[in-house]
Structure 1
Amino acid sequence: MNRSTPLRRTKTSAALAGLAILSVALLTACGTTSAGNGGSTGAKAPTKLGTNEGAVSILAWPGYVEDGSNDPAVDWVSAFQDETGCKVTSKTYGTSDEAFNLMKTGDYDLVAASGDASLRLVAAGDVAPVNTDLIPNYAGVYDFLKLQAWNSVDGVSYGVPHGYGANLLMYKTDAVTPAPTSWNVVFDKSSAYKGKVTAYDSPIYIADAAMYLMSHQPDLGIKNPYALDEKQLAAAVDLLKVQRPNIGEYWSDYLKSIQAFETGDTVVGTTWQVIRNSLAPGTKAEVVVPSEGVTGWSDTWMVGSKAKNPNCAYAWLNYISSPKANAQATEYFGEAPSNQKACDFMSNPDQCSLFHAGDADYASKIWYWTTPIATCVDGRTDVKCTDYAAWTTAWQEIKG
């Protein structure tokens, strides 16, 4: 990914936030639906594939479906079309809430969903279980990305992993000393950098506070930062309200985050590896995985439950998870690939080492975005957890 690449996770508008609260309300009642019936639509995974239909409609983050129209040198769609005969039409979206609402139209065969949307899509019945036996390249996907809480239900896959990354701690080495090893510099000790602390602008950021509390207030009993009962959510919200006066700016546009670190308007806070890589030469900034761990994302290609072109959709799932195509897409965006052999096809020989591709130990430190739902994803059955609607309301209160 370079500076001209469109941002995939932009700020959620107030209107979309309102829609999110309404549309996610069903999660409170149903939690995750049974994988056997594929959500409220009863969609099933196919047992075999037929002839490609000649077309496929894809909903994705910017930079995930490139056909050369944005940059002639960046094109992995044309090869797919030539290989399969499936003509691609695509639409990009800016937030997970937007993707969730667009999938309700039934106009898309596929969606590239982050973990803060995937379980919502399953519960709403907008995506179907996926038969990974019909996707030969699935075998090459790193095992630590398969059948996880954000891409499966009851041991049944709901998609194919695309790429993954961590929400790291970045700091200006000439302003933050000693070098931080804990997230306490943006929480308990953030007042030392008042007005120059940054954080990611999304309700899912509540999980970062919950992760911090797991280590610093173990009596709360938080085992998974995406599984918070009312008391645990309240504690995370209180921590973020204390942090709020010290925040200079919440970021969602990575270009603005880059600029803020370059100018010194921001000296410490949440970042992505691609932001650190994009800083102007000479910028005194480093990234670290703090002792408490990190949150992050692992995006999933999911098939719409009302897909009009399911055979071409499966052809895309197989193609985009192949070593070469997966390398092209994840290198362009700026994240680790999901295919074990993708590193052999990277144009930048340092790409995989920069993003810790295939490093299972590094990946184990990441709490991947997972949609908060009423059915606690940490396995608790004696309490109801707070859902994404509650988190959205809380986030609005935090920001004021």
Structure 2
Amino acid sequence: MRKKILATTAMAAVAVLALSGCATGGETASEGSGELQIDVPDIAMQEELGDYEGEVNIVAWSGFVEPAWSDAFTAETGCVVNRRVAGTSDEMVQLMRTGDYDLVSASGDASLRLIAGGDVQPLNLDLIPNFGDDIVEGMKGQIYDTINGKSYGIPIGRGANILQYDSDVVTEEPTSWDVAWEKDSPYAGKVIAYDAPIYIADAAVYLMAHEPDLGITNPYALDEKQLKAAVELLKQQNEIVSEYWSDPAAQITSFAGGTTVLGTSWEVLRKLTEDDRFKSVLPEEGSTGWSDAWMLAAESKSPNCAYAWMDYSSSPEVNGAIAMNFGMAPANAAFCDTSEEAKAHCDYFNATDEEYFKKVWFWTTPIEQCIDGRTDVTCTNFQQWTDAWLSVKG
């Protein structure tokens, strides 16, 4: 199981992004995407496929590249798959910058770093036939991997950061995140929270609903005043938190052992507890979430094998197998119609329910350009979020 952890290193490449336009905004989380206009390295897009190079080197989350699929791919194309499992987004960025890897299964908290750093190249979607009508609309053209009208990512899967609770203790289903944020929560001292700077966005989502005068319209676009308000809320929550988690196994143990009775979780973690008393809900304020995509190295030594893998792994069968193996909503909705088991999986993870995902703000690297469209202020970048998170944790 991966740990999508944002490390505490500075992201210099992102910090120097220059403003060259505005991102389009929307009224809901998933509609808050658009074609982000920023200055990025001008890297050519591959125009046509050539001969396969014989191998492809992939950095991926655990469970994304398994022998059952890679062996079949090798038999079909002759491209041997060399997999390197990474545990954090920061590790993925570092590995991609070595020049030793062709593909990465990047989350939205790493995508802009890779694009801004010139580490990945724009993709020719015409060379990926399985990227077609069956890819769910909510994973196309998103702000974290579509820059200046160019696509840099092929969707793999997505998930929401939901409110999980122990129904033996929390006997009435919560409708709001207030039970996890307010100091008078009846579950004070039994609340678990995610341990990463990107968790600041969760506080921002709550403030969007409860303190509208702050003017937050995108939780990843915070000016200094808005960031300060989010930090104050996080420090307030710190007083009622039982523990912070980054290791999924530790989070499961915390719930199972009774140390925690509610808090932020991934949908798959509730399933993995294998105990019916643990339930989850997407509260009325909405939530943050994550979306993963294949990204191709700018200096890939095996771009043809890499394109072949992106197409192969985007097929309903393989994309669905990845989604079921990891525990997330697949990108290819056609998988949901392949079997009763597939349908049940898609229903559990709300795979084709765009109304559900309209309430989810997918992780996006905070940068100085305000991606909510504001041009009269400078927004805070990831380094500032990292410093702020350290102040929350003490």
The reply to whether TM is greater than 0.5 is yes
2:49 corresponding residue in structure 1: 49
Could you say which residue in structure 2 is the equivalent of 1:71? none
- Cα distance in 2 between the residues matched to 1:195 and 1:129: 47
Aligned partner of 1:352 among 346, 353, 367 = 346
The letter of the residue matching 1:144 is G
* Per-residue Cα deviation, 1:154-212 (whole angstroms, up to 9, x for no partner): 22101100000000001112222432100111111464322210011111111000000
- Answering whether residue 108 of structure 2 is matched by residue 112 of structure 1, we say no
Give the distance between the partners of 1:36 and 1:129, measured in 2 at CA.
Answer: 14
SS in 2 for 1:350: helix
C-alpha contact (below 8 Å) 1:86/1:312 kept by paired residues: yes
User: Residues 146-185 of structure 1 correspond to what in structure 2 (within 5 A)?
Assistant: 146-185=140-179
Show the 5 A alignment for 1:34-45: 39-40=40-41, 42-45=42-45
- Separation in 2 of the partners of 1:200 and 1:142? 28
Superposition deviation, residue 345 in structure 1: 4.0
CA contact (8 A) 2:17 2:38 kept: no
- Are 2:38 and 1:28 aligned? no
Which of residues 274, 278, 294 is equivalent to 2:272? 278
1:117 maps to amino acid: A
What are the equivalent positions in structure 2 for 1:1-400 lying under 5 Å apart?
Answer: 7-9=1-3, 16-17=7-8, 20-21=9-10, 24-31=11-18, 39-40=40-41, 42-67=42-67, 75-139=68-132, 140-189=134-183, 191-282=185-276, 284-345=277-338, 347=341, 349-400=343-394
Q: Which residue identity does 2:264 align to in structure 1? A: T
After superposition, what is the alpha-carbon deviation per residue over 1:331-387, rounded to whole angstroms, capped at 9, x for unaligned? 000000000211234645411110011111111111011111111111111111111
Q: Given that residues 183 and 236 in structure 2 are in contact (C-alpha distance below 8 angstroms), is that contact kept between their aligned partners in structure 1?
A: no
Aligned amino acid, residue 331 of structure 2: S
Match of 2:25 in 1: none
**In structure 2, what is the Cα distance between the partners aligned to 1:175 and 1:132?**
49
In the alignment, residue 47 of structure 2 is paired with which amino acid? T
Amino acid paired to 2:209? S
User: How far apart, in 2, do the equivalents of 1:106 and 1:373 lie?
Assistant: 25
- 2:26 counterpart residue number: none
In structure 1, stretches of 5+ residues that fail to align are 1-6, 68-74
Q: Is the 8 A contact 1:376 1:384 kept in 2?
A: yes
| Cα distance in structure 2, aligned partners of 1:396 and 1:80 | 44
Contact 1:55/1:88 (<8 A) preserved: yes
Root-mean-square deviation over aligned CA pairs:
1.9
Unaligned 5+ runs, structure 2? 22-35
Q: Kindly provide the amino acid, as one letter, of the partner of residue 122 in structure 2.
A: P
Matched-pair contact (CA < 8 Å) for 1:28–1:374? yes
Aligned residues: 378
Deviation, 1:256, is: 1.6
Pairwise CA distance, 1:153 = 0.5
- Compute the displacement of 1:38 (Å): 8.8
Q: Quick check: 336-345 or 203-212, which moved more?
A: 336-345
Aligned partners of 2:220 and 2:366 also within 8 Å:
yes
In structure 2, how many angstroms separate the alpha carbons of the residues matched to 1:318 and 1:196?
45
Q: Which moved more, 1:270-279 or 1:109-118?
A: 270-279
Q: 1:376 to 1:126 in 2, by over 3 A?
A: same
How far the C-alpha of 1:39 sits from its partner, in A, is 3.4
- In 2, Cα distance between equivalents of 1:38 and 1:90: 32
Shift of 1:112: 0.5
Q: Which amino acid aligns with 1:263?
A: G
Please tell me the residue identity of whatever aligns with 1:371.
Answer: T
Offset at residue 10 of structure 1 (A)? 5.7
Partners in 1 of 2:184 and 2:161 — Cα distance? 18
In structure 2, what is the Cα distance between the partners aligned to 1:204 and 1:52?
38
Amino acid at match of 1:25: A
Q: Distance in 2 between matches of 1:259 and 1:132?
A: 42
How far apart are the structure 2 equivalents of 1:32 and 1:150? 16
CA positional deviation for 1:32: 7.8
